[in-house]
Homo-oligomer: A and B are copies of this chain.
């Protein structure tokens, strides 16, 4: 049969058609009134998408670039910082902070779990300048409790930086209520656009801290970028086609809720949650085990490989047979877990198709261990109950 390429990965995610068309049409120069109008509008839309009153800047970089910007703009060499980690992306904060000479304390949790709040509390002190964490850990599918961490920081001068690259648009976040000082997103996630652009919102406290930071920085100097943004410009050449694409994608997201970006984002989160619920019910009905059952994120579901098959084989066979791309585990989790994303432009039909393909693959890889259809029926029941609840 034909095999359509379908991204079921936690980034890049399926492209919104409107974003594709906007990219193809992005034949414009970045130092013109036309681009300034577009850029200013996209930054405003991103503010609504993040759900913040804080100033937003965008950078031509992947999400890791914005993570580096948070470190290099908020810290000075020797600063004490606390990293909360439970997977590969948490570990990236540690690497970044160390690369910039920070004195890093790490509170970590085993893969598939979230860290203990008691441990966090014990490691906080007035000397800790910044806490770095994820909203959702993409490598394991766990969701962290940002509000609880934020509560521990209330009244202190410790800044809170959240990598919400997969969290934004899949998780309800209260950025200003929780007082998140920098929150980071990327184009290739719930924004339904290819990789290459990161964005972040910074609080007044964060902008103030940047004035005293002693790290070397140039391309990622957020203060400069903020001044450019106020004029509708990017300090350096922006990723023009991606800016246009993000604008179109946010228009599409807003169109789901009468043109309101923030409401559209809530629908996007609800969409991810229902995809996640269908998927979790399905894999459990198939007799598989979730890797992060205690606090699963709606961004991605990590599933333990079944007895007798490697996750790598599952992912390979799924792609070879159906053209769909799932994710293997990262690092030492490779082969142990596979991951199914629920981020962005996915619908009922995508979710069902993933489960159907997974059933075929597992039935073939582990003959006799799987009965076709059990996962599908469980997912259908979740959808039916959700639809009935919405109508009631």
The one of B322, B376, B384 that contacts A377, using a Cβ cutoff of 8 Å: B376
Enumerate A260-277 residues with CB–CB distance to B below 8 Å.
Answer: 270-271, 274-275
Binds B, one of A40-48, A203-211, A227-235, A352-360: A352-360
A236 CB contacts on chain B under 8 angstroms:
none
Is the C-beta of A2 less than 8 angstroms from some C-beta in chain B?
yes
Contact in complex: A271, B380 (CB < 8 Å): no
The one of B2, B347, B373 that contacts A2, using a Cβ cutoff of 8 Å: B347
The one of B4, B270, B349, B360 that contacts A356, using a Cβ cutoff of 8 Å: B349
The one of B2, B6, B256, B352 that contacts A271, using a Cβ cutoff of 8 Å: B2
Q: How many copies does the complex hold?
A: 2
Enumerate A336-369 residues with CB–CB distance to B below 8 Å.
Answer: 345-350, 352-353, 356-357, 359-360, 363-364
Please measure, in the bound complex, the distance between the C-alpha atom of A357 and the C-alpha atom of B323, giving whole angstroms: 21
A24 CB contacts on chain B under 8 angstroms:
24
Smallest Cβ distance from A389 to chain B, in angstroms?
Answer: 13
What does the 1/0 interface line of A320-340 toward B look like (CB < 8 Å)? 011110000000000000000
Q: How large is the interface on A (under 10, 10 to 19, 20 to 34, 35 or more residues)?
A: 35 or more
A376 CB contacts on chain B under 8 angstroms:
356, 373, 376-377, 380
Contact in complex: B384, A380 (CB < 8 Å): no
Is the C-beta of A148 less than 8 angstroms from some C-beta in chain B?
no
Contact in complex: A347, B4 (CB < 8 Å): yes
Contact in complex: A323, B352 (CB < 8 Å): no
Contact in complex: B384, A360 (CB < 8 Å): yes
Enumerate A1-55 residues with CB–CB distance to B below 8 Å.
Answer: 1-4, 6, 24
Please measure, in the bound complex, the distance between the C-alpha atom of A298 and the C-alpha atom of B336, giving whole angstroms: 41
Contact in complex: A274, B372 (CB < 8 Å): no
Is the C-beta of A381 less than 8 angstroms from some C-beta in chain B?
yes
A345 CB contacts on chain B under 8 angstroms:
2, 4
Is the C-beta of A383 less than 8 angstroms from some C-beta in chain B?
yes
Please measure, in the bound complex, the distance between the C-alpha atom of A383 and the C-alpha atom of B1, giving whole angstroms: 10
Closest B residue to A274 by beta carbon equals B1
**Given A274-B1, A324-B349, are A360 and B373 neighbors across the interface (CB < 8 Å)?**
no
**Given A24-B24, A373-B373, are A347 and B384 neighbors across the interface (CB < 8 Å)?**
no
Smallest Cβ distance from A391 to chain B, in angstroms?
Answer: 9
Please measure, in the bound complex, the distance between the C-alpha atom of A347 and the C-alpha atom of B360, giving whole angstroms: 14
Please measure, in the bound complex, the distance between the C-alpha atom of A324 and the C-alpha atom of B274, giving whole angstroms: 19
The one of B4, B353, B364, B380 that contacts A372, using a Cβ cutoff of 8 Å: B380
Closest B residue to A14 by beta carbon equals B4
**Given A271-B2, A372-B384, A377-B376, are A356 and B363 neighbors across the interface (CB < 8 Å)?**
no
Closest B residue to A386 by beta carbon equals B1
Please measure, in the bound complex, the distance between the C-alpha atom of A376 and the C-alpha atom of B351, giving whole angstroms: 14
Please measure, in the bound complex, the distance between the C-alpha atom of A256 and the C-alpha atom of B323, giving whole angstroms: 13
Contact in complex: B347, A352 (CB < 8 Å): no
* Subset of 30 A-B contacts with CB under 8 Å: A1-B270, A2-B271, A2-B346, A4-B345, A4-B350, A321-B348, A321-B387, A322-B347, A322-B348, A348-B356, A348-B360, A349-B353, A350-B353, A352-B353, A352-B356, A356-B376, A356-B380, A359-B380, A360-B380, A360-B384, A360-B387, A364-B384, A364-B387, A372-B377, A372-B380, A373-B373, A373-B377, A373-B380, A376-B376, A377-B377
Q: With contacts A2-B345, A349-B349 known, what are 10 further pairs, Cβ within 8 A?
A: A2-B271, A4-B345, A4-B350, A322-B348, A360-B387, A364-B387, A372-B384, A373-B377, A373-B380, A376-B377
User: Closest 6 interchain pairs by CB?
Assistant: A373-B377, A349-B353, A352-B356, A372-B380, A2-B347, A376-B376
